[in-house]
Amino acid sequence: MFEHTKVAEQAILVHLYLSQDSASEDLNELVMLVASAGVQNKAVITASRNSIDAKFFLGSGKAAELAQAVAELQADLIIFNHALSPAQTRNLERLCQCRVIDRTSLILDIFAQRARSYEGKLQVELAQLKHLASRLVRGWDNIERQKGGIGLRGPGETRLETDRRLLRERITVLKLRLSKVSQQREQGRKARQQAEVPVVSLVGYTNAGKSTLFNRLTQADVYAADQLFATLDPTLRQIQLAEFGDLVLADTVGFIRHLPHDLVAAFKSTLQESRDADLQLHVIDCADERLDDNIRQVQLVLEEIDAAEVPQLKVFNKIDQNQQPARIEYNEQLQPVAVWLSARTGEGMELLRQAIRQRLSVDFIRLTLILPPELSVWRSRLHQLCAVQQEQFTEQGEAVLKLALHRTEWARLLKQSDGLLQNYLQAAV
């Protein structure tokens, strides 16, 4: 659907050190993003400022310097490592006679290049259109736009941006299609739950090594690369874990700090696998100097998609890079909470399998509930959750339900019923 431009675009990167900006963007990360988008980095211009200039974001002196650099280096594109207002974008484009995009457009473009599945493409297009809708006032003319290129792939080619009404209609269509696809996804998910196969999902910062680990565990051949957002579409595989049995492993899109909000929303259904997983493997690049912040950023996104409650096992990956020993860390209840390993060399993989086994066996519980007819609401609720393995009725009309469900799910039900369900548990034999 998206043509890659033949000749790499030549870009000038702009990064500002803002003194009172606590969440300053990382310049290295921008450089990685640019490379991942297939754009050539011609020069990096940085500046320190106390405040943002209303007209150009940069001061006017720096802006002139930027315009000069564009002319000298014959750049086709300026990429700001910040969010620009539509007016700032327009002013910079006029001054530099060159297209200007921000970090969000760049990320969206990488997503557009990577999306393979129908659902992924719909999600990216939706996010792009929403981003576009917020900046319809921009002044760069459509001739440039038709040529395509970074920040312009996808909806840019259809010139939808010229008409707000069309844009809205398209957004409605996309949302409708997406909801259909997510219904299908939901059915697949239900079927998996019914089959009682626990789902283990891989989450983590982009480039942490999720796909490499996925491949190790499944002996599959999922695209892993030293690129940001190498994976976009979720991939599911069923694997066998010795002494445990089947489980489904899900590889997912990586997270990044300041992930555009619309994008998070657009990917909510894809990330559903993470939310409904029985266990999350939070993969962390332990050789990354920003490891603590990366962990925090992932946690923030997990909260945003309501997946922060899922039991989590931290996987500190890439120990080959800083010569750490492979090991497991346990909490006070002797549950494994973290594993140090290298997905590349395979060191520590057996420890991970052991930890997953332990966590899943502890977190997955089986109960028998004997419910009187007047509590049939809870019976249907349990059916809805696909937690019922077997059902029989006594002569008194009580339903004897054999349940298999996740510990947190059970805890949630108990809370919702104000502890009522506890009274109907069959005493353990």
Task: Output the six-digit token pair for 168.
Answer: 């809205």
In sign, the C-alpha dihedral spanning 193, 195, 196, 199 is negative
Q: How far is the CB of 216 from ligand GTP (least distance, A)?
A: 9
Choose the one of Mg ion, ligand GTP, none that binds residue 226, judging by a C-beta under 5 to 8 angstroms depending on kind: ligand GTP
Choose the one of ligand GTP, Mg ion, none that binds residue 99, judging by a C-beta under 5 to 8 angstroms depending on kind: none
Task: Count other C-beta atoms under 10 Å from residue 90's C-beta.
Answer: 17
Task: Count other C-beta atoms under 10 Å from residue 48's C-beta.
Answer: 8
Question: DSSP code of 370?
Answer: E
Considering beta carbons, is residue 92 or 259 the nearer one to Mg ion? 259
Q: Which residue is nearest to Mg ion (CB)?
A: 231
Considering beta carbons, is residue 275 or 344 the nearer one to ligand GTP? 344
Q: How far is the CB of 23 from Mg ion (least distance, A)?
A: 25
Considering beta carbons, is residue 229 or 267 the nearer one to ligand GTP? 229
Cβ–Cβ < 8 Å for 274, 250: yes
Nearest CA-CA partner of 199 in 248, 246, 242: 248
Q: How far is the CB of 225 from Mg ion (least distance, A)?
A: 8
Only one of the segments 209-217, 341-349, 376-384, 386-394 lies at the binding site for Mg ion (rule: CB under 5 A); that segment is 209-217
230 binds Mg ion (CB under 5 A): yes
Choose the one of ligand GTP, Mg ion, none that binds residue 270, judging by a C-beta under 5 to 8 angstroms depending on kind: none
Burial state string for 1-38 with b = 16 or more CB within 10 A and e = fewer than 16:
eeeebeeebbbbbbbbebeeeeeebbeebbebbbebbe
| Dist. CA 316–CA 60, nearest whole Å | 45
Question: DSSP code of 4?
Answer: P
| Residue in the structure block whose two tokens are 């809205």 | 168
Considering beta carbons, is residue 63 or 256 the nearer one to ligand GTP? 256
231 binds Mg ion (CB under 5 A): yes
The residues that touch ligand GTP, with contacts defined as CB under 6 A, are: 204, 206-212, 224-231, 254, 317-318, 320-321, 342-344
Cβ–Cβ < 8 Å for 217, 235: no
One-letter identity of residue 127: A
| Dist. CA 407–CA 262, nearest whole Å | 32
Q: How far is the CB of 214 from Mg ion (least distance, A)?
A: 7
382 binds Mg ion (CB under 5 A): no
88 binds Mg ion (CB under 5 A): no
| # residues near Mg ion by CB under 5 A | 4
Choose the one of ligand GTP, Mg ion, none that binds residue 381, judging by a C-beta under 5 to 8 angstroms depending on kind: none
Only one of the segments 226-234, 311-319, 321-329, 351-359 lies at the binding site for Mg ion (rule: CB under 5 A); that segment is 226-234
Considering beta carbons, is residue 45 or 222 the nearer one to Mg ion? 222
211 binds Mg ion (CB under 5 A): yes
207 binds Mg ion (CB under 5 A): no
Nearest CA-CA partner of 56 in 90, 22, 19: 90
Choose the one of Mg ion, ligand GTP, none that binds residue 317, judging by a C-beta under 5 to 8 angstroms depending on kind: ligand GTP
Q: How far is the CB of 36 from ligand GTP (least distance, A)?
A: 8
274 binds Mg ion (CB under 5 A): no
Biggest CA-to-CA distance, the chain: 89
Task: Output the six-digit token pair for 345.
Answer: 């060399």
Give the β-pairing of 312-317 and 279-285. Answer: parallel
Q: How far is the CB of 215 from ligand GTP (least distance, A)?
A: 8
Considering beta carbons, is residue 305 or 421 the nearer one to Mg ion? 305
Choose the one of Mg ion, ligand GTP, none that binds residue 344, judging by a C-beta under 5 to 8 angstroms depending on kind: ligand GTP
298 binds Mg ion (CB under 5 A): no
Considering beta carbons, is residue 273 or 409 the nearer one to ligand GTP? 273
Give the β-pairing of 388-393 and 399-406. Answer: antiparallel
Q: Under 8 Å CB-to-CB from 349, ≥6 apart: which residues?
A: 216, 217, 341, 343
| Dist. CA 124–CA 266, nearest whole Å | 7
Q: How far is the CB of 251 from Mg ion (least distance, A)?
A: 6
Phi, psi (rounded to 5 degrees) for 369: -120, 135
Query: Which residues sit at the interface with Mg ion, rule CB under 5 A?
Result: 210-211, 230-231
